[in-house]
């Protein structure tokens, strides 16, 4: 049943009794052409595009818990494509273009809100880096602007741009096409659309092993039994190393907690996304009214989705430095996700030495924005058994050759 205002009006007449399940809850089949491990946004998008773009519909997405319960369901929802290196810029821009029509494509309102993403510069080094990025991004055909301090103030009046603060705002870059989206809706929308195309979404189905014959995969062991597959795509974010180990691979990945928090909901007060590296905070306001605030990763490896107090304290200090008026707002909830961090802060979407085993991981702290794009190129990679040109550089081999795609943003070093 198509979602529409008309449908809602009809539903109002009969207590909304007729809305069908958004996706089926099927029993696992003995085998599929492709098994996708991980029912996050990336996995579900991969399945959707496999079916839609490549006609591969005999696909299962196996999810150990509930779909969207990983990082897809716990991120700060920032979407942008203002990346430095060509490889990244083209990939994220493809993704951003997909975002721009996603609600209609999926017939599910993902609330993609292009309210702009602003990155603040607080010292001369920041400013240089910012110029470098903006210049590169614009030449790549992606929108990006430089804002002076006064323009920052005009665009977002509640930021403290006083020159007297510890790290004054010296300028900013702005990508107006960037913004936020309703994270859960992305998972659900892809799930529903994939389901319509015949994809089986298997929840509460944890992959516990990968079966191989020689160097070829033959299927996955799960808590719901063995499921055969000629091709397996691992899209397990924080758990990528665990899955890879089942296939006998080691990855250049470490899993870290990344924290976020929300305030109590208030009426609209912040109409854009503000990010600051030097003062270390990023914040936006959700449509429901909470301030959504992101932190940095905890230093240690962890699979526990637990928050810590010290990170939140630092976060609040940084927030108040930039927005002194938020001091009397209150923390409503804090949480953590487990992100898979690559040494060069860029993802891996590639074939592996194990035949039929593909990995999509390493999105670290920033892969939500890539959800549609990642699914799109990964579906191509799996279906064609070779990468699309947009993900050709995001290989495992780059760690041997040294052809890294370093998106750390130049480290803050200076004489």
Ligand X SMILES: Cc1cc2nc3c(=O)[nH]c(=O)nc-3n(C[C@H](O)[C@H](O)[C@H](O)COP(=O)(O)OP(=O)(O)OC[C@H]3O[C@@H](n4cnc5c(N)ncnc54)[C@H](O)[C@@H]3O)c2cc1C
Ligand Y SMILES: Cc1cc2nc3c(=O)[nH]c(=O)nc-3n(C[C@H](O)[C@H](O)[C@H](O)COP(=O)(O)O)c2cc1C
Using DSSP's 3-state secondary structure scheme, residue 307 falls into coil
| Residue 292 touches which member of ligand X, another protein, ligand Y, none, C-beta under 5-8 Å by kind | ligand Y
Instruction: Confirm if 22 and 47 have CB atoms less than 8 A apart.
Output: no
d(CA 233, CA 45): 12
Question: Which CB atom, from 307 or from 387, has the smaller least distance to ligand Y?
Answer: 307
| Among the listed residues 401, 6, 39, the one whose alpha carbon sits nearest the alpha carbon of residue 235 | 39
Site track 208-247 with ligand X (rule: CB under 6 A), x = hit = ---------------------------xxxxx---x----
Question: Which CB atom, from 75 or from 140, has the smaller least distance to another protein?
Answer: 140
Q: Does 286 bind ligand Y (CB under 6 A)?
A: yes
Using DSSP's 3-state secondary structure scheme, residue 29 falls into coil
d(CA 183, CA 188): 9
| Residue 95 touches which member of ligand Y, another protein, ligand X, none, C-beta under 5-8 Å by kind | none
Q: Does 258 bind ligand Y (CB under 6 A)?
A: no
DSSP state of 113: B
Question: Which CB atom, from 189 or from 294, has the smaller least distance to ligand X?
Answer: 294
Question: Which CB atom, from 148 or from 308, has the smaller least distance to ligand Y?
Answer: 308
Instruction: Confirm if 283 and 261 have CB atoms less than 8 A apart.
Output: no
Question: Which CB atom, from 69 or from 116, has the smaller least distance to ligand Y?
Answer: 69
Question: Which CB atom, from 290 or from 407, has the smaller least distance to ligand Y?
Answer: 290
Q: Does 41 bind ligand Y (CB under 6 A)?
A: no
Site track 121-150 with ligand X (rule: CB under 6 A), x = hit = ------------------------------
Q: Angle 98-269-313 (CA atoms, 0-180°, nearest 5)?
A: 90
The residues, any chain, with a CB within 8 Å of residue 353's CB and separated by 6 or more, are 215, 249
Residue recorded with tokens 């909901």 = 265
Token pair recorded at residue 199: 């994809």
Instruction: Confirm if 180 and 96 have CB atoms less than 8 A apart.
Output: no
Candidate segments 20-28, 307-315, 359-367, 402-410, binder of ligand X by CB under 6 A: 359-367
Q: Tally the residues of the chain.
A: 415
Which residues, in sequence order, are bridge partners of residue 257?
338
Q: Which of 171, 219, 367, 372 binds ligand X (CB under 6 A)?
A: 367
| Among the listed residues 251, 233, 202, the one whose alpha carbon sits nearest the alpha carbon of residue 364 | 251
Q: Point out which residues bind ligand X (CB under 6 A).
A: 37-43, 62-65, 69-72, 74-78, 206-207, 235-239, 243, 258-260, 294, 337, 339, 363, 365-369
Q: Point out which residues bind ligand Y (CB under 6 A).
A: 73-75, 77, 183, 262, 286, 288, 290, 292, 305, 332-333, 335
């Amino acid at each position: 049943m198509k979602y529409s205002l008309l449908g809602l009006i009809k539903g109002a007449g009969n207590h909304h009794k007729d809305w069908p399940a958004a996706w089926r809850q099927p029993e696992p089949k003995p085998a599929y052409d492709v098994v996708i491990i991980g029912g996050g946004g990336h996995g579900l998008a991969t399945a959707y595009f496999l079916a839609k773009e490549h006609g591969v519909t005999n696909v299962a997405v196996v999810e150990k818990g509930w779909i969207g319960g990983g990082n897809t369901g716990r991120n700060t929802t920032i979407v942008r494509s203002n990346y430095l290196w060509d490889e990244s810029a083209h990939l994220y821009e493809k993704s951003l273009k997909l975002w721009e029509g996603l609600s209609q494509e999926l017939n599910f309102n993902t609330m993609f809100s292009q309210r702009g993403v602003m990155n603040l510069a607080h010292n001369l080094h920041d400013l240089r880096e910012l110029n470098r990025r903006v210049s590169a991004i614009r030449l790549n055909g992606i929108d990006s602007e430089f804002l002076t301090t006064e323009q920052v103030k005009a665009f977002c009046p509640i930021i403290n741009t006083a020159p007297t603060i510890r790290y004054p705002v010296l300028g900013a870059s702005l990508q107006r096409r960037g913004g936020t989206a309703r994270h859960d809706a992305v998972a659900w929308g892809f799930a529903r659309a994939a389901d319509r195309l015949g994809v089986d979404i298997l929840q509460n189905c944890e992959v516990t092993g990968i079966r191989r014959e020689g160097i070829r995969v033959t299927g996955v062991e799960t808590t719901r039994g063995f499921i055969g597959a000629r091709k397996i795509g691992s899209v397990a974010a924080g758990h990528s190393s665990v899955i890879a180990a089942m296939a006998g691979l080691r990855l250049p990945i470490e899993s870290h907690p990344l924290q976020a928090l929300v305030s109590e909901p208030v009426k609209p007060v912040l109409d854009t996304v503000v990010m600051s590296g030097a003062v270390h905070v990023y914040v936006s306001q959700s449509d429901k009214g909470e301030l959504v605030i992101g932190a940095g990763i905890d230093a240690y490896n962890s699979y526990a989705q637990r928050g810590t107090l010290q990170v939140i304290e630092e976060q609040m200090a940084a927030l108040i430095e930039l927005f002194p008026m938020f001091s009397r707002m209150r923390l409503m909830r804090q949480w953590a996700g487990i992100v898979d961090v690559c040494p060069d802060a860029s993802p891996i979407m590639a074939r592996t030495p194990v035949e039929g085993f593909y990995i999509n991981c390493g999105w670290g702290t920033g892969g939500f924005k890539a959800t549609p794009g990642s699914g799109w190129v990964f579906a191509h990679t799996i279906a064609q058994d070779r990468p699309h040109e947009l993900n050709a550089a995001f290989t495992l081999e780059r760690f041997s050759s040294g052809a890294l795609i370093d998106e750390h943003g130049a480290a803050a070093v200076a004489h």
